[in-house]
Amino acid sequence: MKKSALLLSSTIIVVTGCTTAETSKDHAKQKKVELTISAASSLQNALLNIKTNFENKYPNVKINFNFGASGALQQQISNGAPVDLFFSAAEDKFNILMKDGLLEKKNEKDLLGNELVLVVPKDVKNGINSFEDLSKATKISIGTPEVVPAGKYAMETLQNIKVWNSIEGKMVYAKDVRQVLTYVETGNVDAGIVYKTDALTSSKVKIIATANENCHDPIIYPVGVIKNSTHSKEARLFYEYLQKDRSMKIFQNYGFIDLH
């Protein structure tokens, strides 16, 4: 009996030892992956919050963001830049990649919405209280319409309310909405047109008007996985994580509209 018990005990020790060793080996083998996410500048604050949550849950995946104007990011991807996921502030830029077969059709979604607002430096009274008052400004900033969706929406709004022609010469074009915001914060321009979400991040500007949604194309933020991603499994994981309740609450806290 003693021999049998000793033999059984040894077997358990050996099996347990093997299991522990195999588990450690599996963790050691877990591949570290870095994802490159090209995202519109207006998403920066929200995405940095979501990144922290995601990396805490999936420590083997590191998120690297490439923030910029959606048009510039789209051009980079079209030219072969190594990107795993694209989060655009405009459907037209996103649809170019979709048409060219660069995005996974099963992993793309219109996720967020936004609003367009007119901002002026806080505590500065310059007589500008509406979009129509922009004729009183010396300098006005918007994003470059060809590459910055917010700039395109701004131009559409100003054209539709019949003030564009009289103020076009006063425009200071910026590379993205964050730069527009900086110009207003520093007083380099009298007013700027940005997304509501960007305006809410600054204590140095004041929102004085919101553009009528009928005056510009719908502001929609589509997101999708790049077809030739070298880490498609992890890219899909982050794509799905963006749609979870915890992530959507973060977006909403920054002023985005939930479309999913």
Q: Which residue has the tokens 């200071």?
A: 172
Is 75 within 8 Å of 192 (Cβ atoms)? no
Rounded Cα distance between 174 and 118, Å, is: 15
Residue 137 marked in a binding site: no
Q: Which residues contact 15 (CB under 8 A, 6 or more apart)?
A: none
Rounded Cα distance between 74 and 147, Å, is: 9
Residue 70 marked in a binding site: yes
| Helix residue ranges, H only, the chain | 2-29, 44-57, 70-78, 91-99, 149-160, 164-167, 177-185, 196-199, 232-241, 245-253
Q: Which residue has the tokens 């959606």?
A: 70
| Nearest alpha carbon to residue 244 among 231, 257, 260, 222 | 260
Residue 183 marked in a binding site: no
Write out the binding residues for molybdate.
42, 70, 150, 177, 195
Write out the binding residues.
42, 70, 150, 177, 195
